[in-house]
């Protein structure tokens, strides 16, 4: 059953075009010029109940705008969306009690107060019964190992500790849908791992629906089976994580290990990525792999060979770069 249904959703903004120079600035006071920016361009999306979906894209692709639309923070220019049967931008209280939005660069907790004070306010806002509030808070603080920090002012917490507190605040009312916008941004490797571990466990236990945006592919690989890629406000891909490489990468990485002292040039076989003798890594077209392997094994004393897909981060980075270049070309033409 689809818990999120999006059809032809569009969001555009009028942006004031400020010109350089005093004369043009004065002129702009009386004759303003605007340009239209399309943040979201008619996307269609269905998310099933209990799915954990990664929503990826370069900066400015429309990810955060889409999450804001689905959480009712902003209104669309056109199109429709339903989350659990509610139209988000109608902002009904029944809907607000059933979803949560966590933005990694925004704080929902009072900065100078202990987190537990903000949690009590959340309890009143969402009307959570006292017994259920205590049970949920105890469970979450135990899972995230932050019970000792509840009475400490939020401003004194580390970035990773604050994010744990933000997650607790978002989950205190036991939402059915959770929107996560860059939850691990700026965190160190250990903090990222702890957040990933918690989210994976909590989602599997509660079967809630989560839509995640992140620039860290380790977040995506650890948590999500399905990936939606948005670029220039449009969905470019919707499928499995492994399918991204199959669709967007036509290359393979071949690692060759040669005997000590044997250092031939491998440039003729493909793009040499690095030479860490006795190993060398080269990038070749998928279709050329059999030919390259045949020729290298014939012409050189190879001790070991490994053929693998390029790293997911590289494939997605190339996809984002290509999308940005197309966008710049279209705006200049």
Q: Using the predicted structure, report yes or no on whether residue 28 has a pLDDT greater than 80.
A: no
Secondary structure class of 315 (helix, strand, coil): helix
The pLDDT-based confidence of 92 (bands split at 50, 70, 90) is very high
The pLDDT-based confidence of 25 (bands split at 50, 70, 90) is low
Phi and psi at 157, nearest 5°, equal: -85, 155
Classify each residue of 100-109 as buried b or exposed e, where b means 16 or more C-beta atoms within 10 Å of its C-beta.
bbbbbeebeb
Selection from 33, 29, 41 nearest residue 14 by Cα = 33
Structure tokens at 190: 């250990």
pLDDT of residue 176: 96
For a pLDDT cut of 70, what percent of the chain falls above it?
Answer: 90
The pLDDT-based confidence of 90 (bands split at 50, 70, 90) is very high
Question: Which residues on adjacent β-strands are paired with residue 251?
Answer: 285
Contacts of 208 (CB under 8 A, 6+ apart): 50, 175, 176, 177, 178, 202
pLDDT of residue 273: 87
Higher pLDDT, 21 or 174: 174
- Average pLDDT for 286-309: 86
- Average pLDDT for 119-134: 94
pLDDT of residue 315: 80
| CATH 3.30.70.100 fits domain 2-9+43-246 | no
Selection from 50, 91, 65, 59 nearest residue 6 by Cα = 65
Question: Would you list the domain boundaries of the chain?
Answer: 2-9+43-246, 250-308
Give the CATH number of domain 250-308; options: 1.10.287, 3.30.70, 1.10.10, 2.60.40: 3.30.70
């Amino acid at each position: 059953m689809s818990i999120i249904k999006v059809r032809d959703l569009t969001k555009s903004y009028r942006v004031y075009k400020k010109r350089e120079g005093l004369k043009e600035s004065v002129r702009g006071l009386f004759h303003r010029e605007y340009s239209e920016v399309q943040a979201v361009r008619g996307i269609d999306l269905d998310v099933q109940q209990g799915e954990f979906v990664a929503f990826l894209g370069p900066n400015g692709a429309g990810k955060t705008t889409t999450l804001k639309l689905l959480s009712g923070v902003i209104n669309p220019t056109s199109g429709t969306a339903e989350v659990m049967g509610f139209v988000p931008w109608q902002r009904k209280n029944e809907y607000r009690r059933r979803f949560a939005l966590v933005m990694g660069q925004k704080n929902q907790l009072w900065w100078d107060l202990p987190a537990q004070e903000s949690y009590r306010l959340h309890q009143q806002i969402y009307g959570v019964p006292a017994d259920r509030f205590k049970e949920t808070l105890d469970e979450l603080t135990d899972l995230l190992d932050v019970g000792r920090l509840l009475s400490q002012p939020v401003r004194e917490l580390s970035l990773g500790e604050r994010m744990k507190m933000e997650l607790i605040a978002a989950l205190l009312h036991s939402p059915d849908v959770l929107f996560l916008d860059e939850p691990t941004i700026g965190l160190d490797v250990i903090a990222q791992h702890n957040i990933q571990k918690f989210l994976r466990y909590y989602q599997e236990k509660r079967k809630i629906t989560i839509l995640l945006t992140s620039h860290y592919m380790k977040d995506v690989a650890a948590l999500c089976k399905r990936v939606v890629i948005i670029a220039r406000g449009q969905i470019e891909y919707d499928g499995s994580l492994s399918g991204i490489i199959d669709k967007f990468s036509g290359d393979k990485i071949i690692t060759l290990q040669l005997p000590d002292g044997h250092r031939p040039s491998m440039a003729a076989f493909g793009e040499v990525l690095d030479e860490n003798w006795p190993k060398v890594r080269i990038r070749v077209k998928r279709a050329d792999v059999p030919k390259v392997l045949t020729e290298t094994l014939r012409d050189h004393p190879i001790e070991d060979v490994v053929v693998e897909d390029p790293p997911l981060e590289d494939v997605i980075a190339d996809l984002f770069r290509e999308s940005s270049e197309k966008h710049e070309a279209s705006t200049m033409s």
